[in-house]
Structure formats: structure tokens, C-alpha cells
Chain A
Amino acid sequence: GAGVSQSPRYKVAKRGQDVALRCDPISGHVSLFWYQQALGQGPEFLTYFQNEAQLDKSGLPSDRFFAERPEGSVSTLKIQRTQQEDSAVYLCASSLRVGRNSNEQFFGPGTRLTVL
């Protein structure tokens, strides 16, 4: 595909439901990042994958958040027992390489999650 795609674009969940958010990075991109953007704020880092390995999950806010990238391409961010404070836009980004001179990160359009 031409860019990073995410689905669904919008998700409404009742408090306590589980949700799964999908990210399709640009083909061949090694690095994949998830960010959380609360209303009126800048995105904040959640987790990082290099191929299929999750190398950093320090930004995940609780153990209700889980991410995977089993084959090193598509990634899923899962949130269990959603709470109202989970309402945010979840952004996925990918980049071609790793390291200081890596290519820029390309961002997807995001999934807007609203928890009622």
C-alpha cells in the first residue's frame, strides 16, 4: 500500500469491553510504533517493535494494554476491559530502518476510540 493504514478508523466501546486495533505498516518497514493521543495533546509513545520483536513496551499505561506483531508486518493493539480514560486516538507509525539515521516515521490516520 501507499502508506500506513489503520482500522477501524472509529471505535465506540462500552466500558469493560475488549477492543482490538489494527495497523498495516508500509511494506518492508522494520520498525513499528504505537502512540496514544489524548484530546488536545501530543501523541505519547506506547510501544515499539523491530520486526516481530517487541523491544520496548514502557509506555503502555497498564497491563490491560497488549500489542503484538507476530509476523513482523501487521500489528494489533488490544485493550482489555476498556475504561473511559482509554478514550483517545491511537496512532501507528512505521519506519524503514533502525538507528540514528533511520528514515522518518510515517504515521497512519489513527483509530479514534471512544469508551462510554
Chain B
Amino acid sequence: GDSVTQMEGPVTLSEEAFLTINCTYTATGYPSLFWYVQYPGEGLQLLLKATKADDKGSNKGFEATYRKETTSFHLEKGSVQVSDSAVYFCALTGSGGYQKVTFGTGTKLQVIP
């Protein structure tokens, strides 16, 4: 079945540091790929997505590129802020049917001033 593997946290960075959170996936066909974010005390929010190979999703300074050859969708941000502290989930939906989401285990990011 489909699965998502992402780097374990927690990740602690200083403000303005560069962020990378690795994510790889296993899926048949052509899945769509997502990053969701869960801020403290809030629900899951879609951060960005990419629906086909070589697409780049971007939002709020975060970027991720759909790499089919390496089955990866790594999340990057050039300069993190304290307000980026949250749990980040890599996820996918399969290429057929009704699009249930398969999530990774989440990576907690803490940004310190």
C-alpha cells in the first residue's frame, strides 16, 4: 500500500536558519503530494501541494518539488521564523478513487529567537 516516510524530529533551528525536512513516498501510479502544517492548538492546514512530477508547490516561503525519480518531496524554507514552529506532515493521495490521504508521522519544528 501507499506510505510516506519523513525525517524524525524534533528539529530545532535558530531564527533565519535554512530548513529542510526530508520526505519520501511509496505509491503506485501518480500520486499527488502535500505538506500539511499543524500549529499548536490548531487543526491541520494545507501548506502546499504538487500534483505531477517536477511540479513545485510553494506557500509562505516554503517550497517542495515533486521528484518522481527519487520518490521525494522535501520541504524547504530559506529563512525560518519563530512563527513557523509547528508540526509538519508530508502526505499523499493515490492516483485513483476518492483521494484518502496517507500521512507521514510528522516532524516537529521549533524555531528559537
Binding site for B on A (CB under 8 A): 31, 33, 35, 40-45, 48, 50, 55-56, 91, 93, 95, 98-102, 104-105, 107-110
Contacts and interface: CB of A to CB of B under 8 A. Distances in A.
Contacts of A31: 98-99
Contacts, number: 59
Interface residues of B, number: 24
The SS class assigned to the B binding surface is strand
A100 B32 contact: yes
Nearest to A46: B100
A91 B44 contact: yes
B98 A43 contact: no
A108 B4 CA distance: 22
Contacts of B95: 100
Given A43-B44, A104-B49, A109-B42, A56 B105 contact: no
